[in-house]
Amino acid sequence: MTKPVRIYLLMALTLLGCASSGKSSDGAARVAMEAGKQYAQSGLYDQAITRFKEAIAEDDELAAAYMNLGVCYIQKGRDYYATAREVLELAAKQDDGEKDPLVWYNLTVIYTLTDVYDKALDALDRALGFGFNDYDALRTDKDLRELRKREQFRAVLERHNVFL
């Protein structure tokens, strides 16, 4: 995934998560989320990770914090993919994450990066089913290059009337 697409996802999910969290949308979790977003936008992933972890400590049901944390781990590189996958799977288990198309899109990314194509295709199917519509990302995201080579990729897209 290109850096601008990841940052776009970080920003969108941060806003979504802060707006939809009922526990502490005006509290410490929101402050930590905003700080994490700023660090991530600047490419300071270690600092962003610290802040997203603080947000989770304040509100452990905030899918956006898990989501952004997972994306930061992806950005840090291959050595962090296992952690990214674990955190993104936690995001999908949160009430506000289980139907979030961005959570499922980023699960598609991490599964593709770790060569788990059956799960990547399932996650893509869910992302599209929940309303993911950034078709440029599907077309151009470098992290999805290997997934796009698979015949099943087109089948999932066609099932959702998406033609790239």
Assess contact for 33 and 48: CB atoms under 8 A. Answer: no
- Strands (E) across 1-157 are located at none
The chain-wide mean pLDDT, for the chain, equals 89
Burial grade of 23 (CB within 10 A; 0-12, 13-18, 19 or more): exposed
Percent of the chain exceeding pLDDT 90 equals 82
* Tens digits of residue pLDDT in 17-60: 444 444 444 489 999 999 999 999 999 999 999 999 999 999 98
Give 127's pLDDT tier (boundaries 50, 70, 90): very high
Q: Is the pLDDT of residue 1 over 60?
A: no
SS3 27: coil
Assess contact for 12 and 102: CB atoms under 8 A. Answer: yes
Residues 2, 84: Cα–Cα separation, whole Å: 17
Predicted TM-score (pTM) of this structure = 0.84
Percent of the chain exceeding pLDDT 70 equals 84
Q: Is the pLDDT of residue 130 over 90?
A: yes
